[in-house]
Structure formats: C-alpha cells, structure tokens
Amino acid sequence: MKTLSLSLLQVFSWCSAPAQAARDERVIAVLTRAESVYMEAFSAFQAAYGSEIRYYDLSEGAPSLPKEARTIVTFGGKAASFRYPEGTKVIYAMAPGLQLSRTRYPGAVKISMLPPVDRVLKRLRSIQPGMRTLAIFWTADRYAPLVEEAGLRGREYGVSVYAVRIKAPGDLPAAIRAENGRMDAIWLPPDPLLLTPSTLRIFTSFAWGNAVPLYGSTRGMTREGAAASVGVTVKAVGTAAAEAARRIEAGETLPDTIYPETEDLTLNASSARRCGLGFSRELVERAEYLFP
C-alpha cells in the first residue's frame, strides 16, 4: 500500500508540474557523422556556447531542420556541403577544402583548420632556423589564395616560399623528385584533394631519404611521419565556432574566415632525426605533443 501511494504521488507530481519550456532552436548543428572528431568539436562548441544545442547526424539521412533555425553550425565537409535554406547563416568547421558562397549564404563564416599563414611561417622558421626555401604542395582551388599569401609573407622571415600544384595523385612522385635540391623543407596544408595515406607515404619517404624536413598542419600528419605540424586543436575549432555564433546572433558582420586563437604544435622526434633536424629544449617544452 505504501508503494502504491508513492507511485500515485509521483504520477500526480508529473501531471501537475508545469511543462518544460521548448528548446530554442534558432541555433542548431549538423555533423557529417555524430562520432569521432566531429562529435569532439561539437562538444567543445556546445560547452563554449553555454547551452544545449540540438544536433543532426547527416550519416542517418537528410535532416528535417526546424523552421525557426537561423544559424546552422556544421562540422565536416559533407555537413558544410549540404543544401540549407537560402539566407541561412552558416558557420562551417572541419571542411578545409571548401569555401561556401556568400551569395547563397550571406555572412557564411569558415572556421579555419590553420592559424594565419604568417604565424605558421614564423613557427616553421623557429623549428628550422636555417630554412631558406620552402615548397608548398597543394591541389584544391581553395588553397590558391593561401599559397599566394605565403609567398608574400615568407619574405618577412627570410624564406623564399613557392608552390607546387599537383593536378593528379599520379603526378606526385615525379613532381616531388623534380624539386629535390631546390627546397630546404616541405609544408602541406590540410588539402583533402592531395592528402591520402598513400600520398603522405610518398612525402615522408622522400623527406626521410633526402633529409628534407616535412611539415604538416594536423597532429595526424605528425603521427604519420611529418617532422612537425602547426595547426589548431579540435577543441579550439569548436570554441571559435561558438564565439562566431554568439557574434552573429548579436548582429555583427564577420569576415569569411575566422582563425582560432590557439596553435597546436606537434613534433615527431624520430622523423626529425631522419631529416637531420633537431628540436631545441624550448621548442619541445612549447609543443602540445611529442611523438617519440
């Protein structure tokens, strides 16, 4: 009888409690997949934004978005490429090879997977003080402005920066051999059209065999054989996306690209040794991660 009374009391309290306020869905998120780094970035975004945000998993099919959604934050290239209602404010992250049209999405904001190029060059110069010539290998059209800016900015650090565009993966072995003897180091932006497990092996094999340090832009590149990488963390990407969302809601007009404030410097000791490169103690202490 006591248990029954408790159950009735619980039911009564549920029925008499005021209905919960509907969740504000003017800001929502769409993930390429609700797992791995996409979910990690979204979690950082939600924590920095400071309230619960509804998310949609694109791998489960086309989402039915709420009509009140005004700002959509996407994580991953497929999520960024999904066709959203015209006029929607889109903040897109973890889509390095993509640039959305501001004609279709006025005020679209890209969260960069890289620090500003001048900060990258400054960091590479500190890793390899004797570097005089740096080659950037790239494929995607999106990186044309970046390599052009790198060429201009390199002069500030006493480095001649030039670009080698790879039109097809099969062209890479001959193209990289043709540059041997001209370059002191190689830098790879996070170009999804160029970087695959097989092309990264070509770069690392060349770097190790010819004592030409290879620099990347993600921790994964460092793990797979780059001597070092200068990029941004997944957490920093999510945090930057949250700040962009708040500023858009406040009515600000943002630039087409926002760079996270913190850098992610990762080092690979064994790869550096193969290239005849050593890391100073100060550099190691500054690094976020050191692969043995």
Tell me if 254 sits within 8 A of 107, measured CB to CB: yes
Q: Is the pLDDT of residue 137 over 90?
A: yes
pLDDT at 183 over 90: yes
pLDDT digits (tens, 9 = 90+) for 76-117: 999 999 999 887 899 999 998 888 888 888 889 999 999 999
Q: Spell out the domains of the chain, with CATH numbers in brackets.
A: 27-113+235-258 (3.40.50.2300), 117-232+263-291 (3.40.50.2300)
Q: How far apart are CA 169 and CA 166, in angstroms?
A: 7
The number of residues in the chain equals: 292
What is the rounded CA–CA span in Å between residue 175 and residue 273? Answer: 25
Report which residue type is found at 216: G
Please identify which residue in the block is written with the tokens 């998120």: 29
Per-residue pLDDT of 205-248, as tens digits, reads 999 999 999 999 999 999 999 999 999 999 999 999 999 999 99
Considering the entire predicted model, what is its pTM? 0.83
